[in-house]
Amino acid sequence: MPTKKILMIFGTRPEAIKMASLYYALKDRSEFNVRVCVTAQHRQMLDQVLNVFNIIPDIDLDLMKPGQDLIDVVTSVMVAVRTVISIERPDLVLVHGDTSTAMATATTCFFMGIPVGHIEAGLRTYDLHSPFPEEFNRQVVGKIASLHFVPTKLGRDNLLNEGVKDSSIFITGNTVIDSLLWLLNRIEASKELKTTLYNRITSALGFDWTSDKFILITGHRRENFGDGFISICEAISDLAKKYPNVRFVYPVHLNPNVQVPVVKILTNHTNIHLIKPLEYESFVCLIKHCYFVLTDSGGIQEEAPTLGKPVLVMRDVTERPEAVLAGTVVLVGASRDRIIANVSELLDNTKLYERMAHSHNPYGDGYACKRIVEVLETIG
Ligand code: UD1
Ligand code: UDP
């Protein structure tokens, strides 16, 4: 049987985490010739993931420029991916989610007549400005893809309502759960790795994170840039004063729009710990040990419920309403007062905390990649 050439193209931290388990699932099968091209829309944060999962890309476009805007990324990805596709001539290109890399790659494939499979398809807010530009990006990829791998039934319903053919949609669960469980098993299996991670995180934080109560914070959404980030930081600063016995751990995204307000407003608080982005293994340990998560991230809304942690999401809408309905995630927006009120309530109200911590994870069982591979095998 001739092998099918599959080219995976991704560029940011979350895409790499969610494509890593799929890469290995495809690589195990002799009927596929899998190649990886990274755009490196992110550089350091992508490399952290590639190292953890031991993935050496076949092609590294190394496109990141500090302070790049959306047009810089989209145009540079399109031009570079055009060359890659011309040389590689893949049978199928797999893209993930809603980044500029995913949209620009899918668009280039469309112009060049190359079929696209979309991993984490069908997520929607139907508000083109929130998240911006991700809602636009994923709708564009959804128009182009011929295979749509949706994490949950809701994604399928969204695509059907948009007129996508039922036969091209596959409910698989989210590959993030596969990657997360794989990593947890690896940590669990190695005493040595546990010790290394404990020492690494302790030296980054300067306190015993396995015993002290802490809230884990991340944030990077474009729609929160400017006033949104200022009010988020002011809320965290107020909360740190109100709860001196709680620690606030914040690995700060490398985007300068995030770095500048966070460092300016949150430096010099004894119980706020600003640290560099952590490699995935350490970050997963922190999710496991935190009291709860305060974030505007997409992926963490899926991971934290899997680890039994409540999540307060600093956004007004989410394309992941499943965990909100399940009761583990609450949307709190980016206003200072609402963040303070919701964090305080979750710290003070044990019953609420227990309810949120014991709801179930709606995003998958760790077999998403197996299902995707089975589809790719059967479509010939
Ligand atoms: C991108 C994605 C967003 C995703 C997020 C994950 C788009 C439009 N947005 O947003 O969907 O949720 O990644 O984090 O694709 N930087 C570094 N080193 C890095 C990474 C970023 O220095 O390793 C800095 C650079 O100055 C870079 C800037 O961050 O120019 C912004 O990166 P960019 O990929 O344009 O946007 P994100 O906000 O990270
Ligand atoms: N993450 C990480 N180190 C960190 C912060 C986050 O490895 O310091 C992981 C996190 O577990 C999740 C992913 O990065 O899998 C989320 O990335 P991000 O929030 O940047 O993007 P989004 O998911 O919002 O697209």
45 ligand 1 Cβ < 6 A = yes
List, for residues 290-312, the tens digit of each pLDDT value.
999 999 999 999 999 999 999 99
Mean of pLDDT over the chain: 97
CA of 298 to the centre of ligand 2 (A): 8
Q: Residue 53 and residue 180: Cα distance in Å, rounded?
A: 11
* Per-position DSSP letters for 10-70, written without gaps between them: E-SHHHHHHHHHHHHHHHT-TTEEEEEEE--SSSHHHHHHHHHTT---SEE-----TT--H
3 state SS of 139: helix
List, for residues 348-368, the tens digit of each pLDDT value.
999 999 999 987 789 999 999
8 Å CB contact between 347 and 245: no
221 ligand 2 Cβ < 6 A = no
366 ligand 1 Cβ < 6 A = no
Mean pLDDT of 246-262: 97
- 192 in catalytic set: no
CA of 79 to the centre of ligand 1 (A): 19
Atom of ligand 1 nearest to the CA of 47: 23
Q: Residue 200 and residue 214: Cα distance in Å, rounded?
A: 17
**Ligand 1, pocket-test mutation among 77, 254, 257, 296, most atoms within 8 A of CB:** 254
Residue 60 has pLDDT above 80, yes or no: yes
- 96 in catalytic set: no
Residue 333 has pLDDT above 90, yes or no: yes
Lowest-confidence pick of 77-91, 273-287, 349-363: 349-363
44 ligand 1 Cβ < 6 A = yes
pLDDT band at 55, cuts 50/70/90?
A: very high
8 Å CB contact between 80 and 59: no
pLDDT band at 379, cuts 50/70/90?
A: confident
List, for residues 112-146, the tens digit of each pLDDT value.
999 999 999 999 999 999 999 999 999 999 999 99
- 134 in catalytic set: yes
Q: Where are the beta strands (DSSP E) in the chain?
A: 4-10, 32-38, 59-60, 92-96, 116-119, 147-150, 169-171, 214-218, 247-251, 272-275, 292-295, 311-313, 329-331
**pLDDT value at position 86?**
98
CA distances from 367 to 224, 302, 318, 322 (A): 34, 15, 24, 18
- 253 in catalytic set: yes
**pLDDT value at position 359?**
76
Q: Which residues of 328-341 are buried (b: 16+ CB within 10 A; e: fewer)?
A: bbbbbbbbbebbbe
**pLDDT value at position 104?**
99
Mean pLDDT of 19-42: 97
Residue 380 has pLDDT above 70, yes or no: no
**Ligand 1, pocket-test mutation among 9, 19, 42, 276, most atoms within 8 A of CB:** 42
Residue 345 has pLDDT above 80, yes or no: yes
Residue 1 has pLDDT above 70, yes or no: no
13 ligand 2 Cβ < 6 A = yes
For the chain, percent of residues with pLDDT exceeding 70? 99
